[in-house]
Amino acid sequence: MSLNPRLRDWQGRHVWLIGAGHGIGAALARQLRAAGAILALSGRSEDALREVAADDAQCLVLPLDVTREQDWQQACGQLLQRWPRIDLVVMLAGDYRAVRAWQLTAELARHMVDVNLLGVMYGTAAVVPALLRQQHGSIALVASVAGWAGMPNGLVYGATKAAVNHFAQTLYLDLRPRGIGVHVVNPGFVATRLTAQNDFAMPALISAEQAAGALLAGLARGDFDIHFPRRFSLVLKLAAHLPYRLYFWLAHKVTGL
């Protein structure tokens, strides 16, 4: 039994993608457009968003900084003036910095918490009232398998993504009884400009297009936890429940760090 409504027919659906200028967000925009969705694209770089929007006259470009609560409120207000409803909001914006314990600074920690966690909370605060008013719609928060257990290089990133998973679980408990779908997306290694900074061989690495396809497949199944690629994410999910001695050995073995 699905935990959420199954999102399969995208023709005419109104979808707001935040973090759509690059990576999985840009790939998802292309696939949704091809499936007939009506899109709004947000992110920090207006130029990147307009490049993704291409010549789609129906596509709205709404630049915003996810760390600014007022940007969320303004963009959401503009969207509701233009659209009759919001069918799906996907929050993909995030930042990753490879950080070991001896590289940690307060400034770096604050930046990633602001983008990866507080940005999600600000966005949720902006869109949930609209979804509740219309008594319809879904929200998808992009976390990471790095949030399931500690991994080298993920000192701050993994902690923020663990928090997003927790936030999504509680959000589901609050919103699903009110008719709003909630999904958390946990990708493994995806080839993007962010993961390019990793200095180890990333197991089961997939392209942004493959990741977008897997995300859409999870929405079509009505999954709460959409994780991929399964050949890696299922193993990591199981590994996260191993005794710590075994898990720590495995984490070092996989990354070589």
> Which residue numbers are catalytic?
157
Let me know how long the chain is. 257
Q: Please, which residues bridge with residue 186 across strands? A: 227
Q: How far apart are CA 149 and CA 101, in angstroms?
A: 16
User: Which residue has 């396809």 as its token pair?
Assistant: 213
Residue type, 173: L
The answer to whether residues 72 and 48 touch, using CB atoms and an 8 Å cutoff, is no
In this structure, the number of other CB atoms found within 10 A of the CB of residue 133 comes to 11
Residue 257 belongs to what H/E stretch? none
Which two structure tokens, joined as six digits, stand for 75? 């963009």
Pairing of strands 181-187, 225-228: parallel
